A and B are shown apart, each in its own frame.
Chain A
Amino acid sequence: MRKLLIWLPLAIFILFLGVFAGGLIKPEGKVIPSKLVGKPMPSFSLPPGLPGKAGLSSEALTNGQPHLVNIFASWCLPCIAEAPQLDQLAKAGAPIYGIAIRDRPEDLARFIERHGDPYRAIGADTNSSVQIALGSSGVPETFIVDGRGIIRRQIIGDIKPEDVPGIMSDLAAAQ
């Protein structure tokens, strides 16, 4: 028994080594979900991101209809990848509102021209303040907001083609 016990510290040491090596070889890419899911949209008012297009305030999201709020930016590469899916959602009747993070009107105009415009309105969040108030930690992210302005779901990262039906049904359920 005693003889075996001598090996215990070494065994524990090797176990620790394994845990640390695992963490180094395969670090967890952690996504940080917003704690505001299930809570009301924070109140905000953003100026238009594009001349000739409406800006976005939180009141616009409490008109009894569910909405998609898409956090994006012209400088964000995955946002290009999700643009066809947003177009598909908009064509299917989903009301999509954009919040453009740290964007200039000229860059935004070029992005919209090249990748399509699924947005009913785009608010310009030039200092990320609304993004931080929403508990969002990157671009792109999409929030499903119900008719009373309660956040129902957060989609972190770009919307893939296979995500579209689920988003449409969640949107219909968020009346």
Chain B
Amino acid sequence: MTRGLILLAALVLAVPALADSLMPAARYANEQLPDPQQEARAKALMETLRCLVCQGQSIADSDAEMAGDMRAMVRTRIAAGEEPEAIRKWLIERYGDWVSYKPPLDGLTWPLYALPALLLALGLWIVSGRLKRRRKS
């Protein structure tokens, strides 16, 4: 009984080790822009920007404080009339392509785009060869 109580107390009193600040979230971190069109553009951009702290999530999905600050930054800049792609470029200048979920087409990434087309062509070629052979027999 006492052991159970101690265990319960330990569970209740445990403080998460994860360090977070005591500051409230920035404005527009979790608040939509009043203009729905601007909000839609901000949302589309936020879904393709990678969170730097929680590395498998977009800043739109992440609950990390830094992701919240990045959302606030994106919304504020879109409300000020900045183009989403300009904001993406600004972030890539600082964090590299890593921060963007939209891979650029360059010397390193062109196989990503070319391979599906090449494999499809290869498949069609094999299938057409087999069909021809079957017709002959």
Measured CB to CB, the residues of A under 8 A from B are 30, 32-36, 73, 75-77, 101-104, 107, 126-129, 131-135, 137-138
Chain A's closest residue to B29 (CB) is A127
Complex CA distance for A34 and B96, rounded to whole angstroms: 8
Min distance, Cβ A40 to any Cβ of chain B, angstroms: 12
Min distance, Cβ A72 to any Cβ of chain B, angstroms: 12
Chain B residues with CB under 8 Å of A104's CB are 22-23
Chain A residues with CB under 8 Å of B65's CB are 102, 128
Interface of A is mostly: loop
A132's partner among B21, B22, B55, B94 (CB-CB below 8 A) is: B94
- Contact present for B53 and A132 (CB under 8 Å): no
Complex CA distance for A32 and B9, rounded to whole angstroms: 40
Interface of B is mostly: helix
- Contact present for B94 and A35 (CB under 8 Å): yes
B35 at the interface (CB under 8 A from A): no
B52's partner among A32, A101, A103, A133 (CB-CB below 8 A) is: A32
- Contact present for A32 and B96 (CB under 8 Å): yes
29 contacts between A and B (CB under 8 A): A32-B52, A32-B96, A32-B98, A33-B96, A34-B95, A35-B93, A35-B95, A35-B96, A36-B93, A36-B94, A75-B19, A102-B23, A102-B69, A103-B23, A104-B22, A104-B23, A126-B26, A127-B69, A131-B66, A132-B66, A132-B69, A132-B70, A132-B73, A132-B91, A135-B94, A137-B52, A138-B52, A138-B53, A138-B66
Given contact pairs A32-B95, A102-B65, A133-B94, A76 touches B19 in the complex (Cβ within 8 A):
yes
Min distance, Cβ B52 to any Cβ of chain A, angstroms: 4
Q: Considering the complex of A and B, which 10 residue pairs feature the smallest CB-CB distances, nearest first?
A: A135-B94, A137-B52, A102-B21, A128-B69, A102-B23, A127-B26, A75-B21, A75-B19, A127-B69, A35-B96
